[in-house]
Amino acid sequence: MSYTGVIHTVHIGDLQRDLRLFKVAPGVTIAIFNMLGDTDVVEHAAEALAARIPADTETLIVPEVKAVPLGHALSKRTGLPYVVVRKFCKPYMGDTLQTEVISITTGAPQTLYLDGKDRHLVSGRNVVLLDDVISTGSTLRGMEQLMLQANATVVGEMAVFTEGADDDWPQIIALGHLPIFAD
């Protein structure tokens, strides 16, 4: 990976992507990774992560929205079901579990929901939490809280990228790391 001023270059397998830099706060700039609509990135990331998934995994857990295509692609490769943790409770959802986190994107509280229809895929099972980027860990902690409520055992945490200091996320199985750039 290299920092070239207005972009940050990353590699996922043999794919290269130039990520736009974006100032999120005074003196803090990050590289924006958005794999929505980038089928090649999703497929390459799923292939690489499938090779590293813990052997005792029974279900994949992904937050909506950006990680959903990755969850789908990884599910297809592994044969494991995936469950989407929702950020909005829809009227058709029933018997939901919920927990509140602080979103890095908005800085405001956000509620995560596990639909009751998916509980049988989670309760008493070994699950892997999967996200596109783990930055502050707030979504990850929210998913962990939901899994605790659902009586699931988290056996792994995976992401395409981690973000922050190089050693912030030693437990995360990731394909790469995105630094934070100080202005």
Residue 1: per-residue pLDDT:
47
Ranges assigned E (strand) in 97-172: 97-102, 109-114, 126-134, 153-163
| CA quadruple 167, 173, 176, 181: dihedral sign | negative
Spatial distance between the Cα atoms of 87 and 64, rounded to a whole number of angstroms: 7
Whole-structure pTM value:
0.91
Per-residue pLDDT of the chain (183 residues; tens, 9 = 90+): 445 568 899 999 999 999 999 888 888 888 999 999 999 999 999 999 999 999 999 999 999 989 999 999 999 999 999 999 998 888 888 888 999 887 665 667 889 999 999 999 999 999 999 999 998 888 999 999 999 999 999 999 999 999 987 788 999 999 999 988 877
Q: Identify the CATH class of 35-177.
A: alpha beta
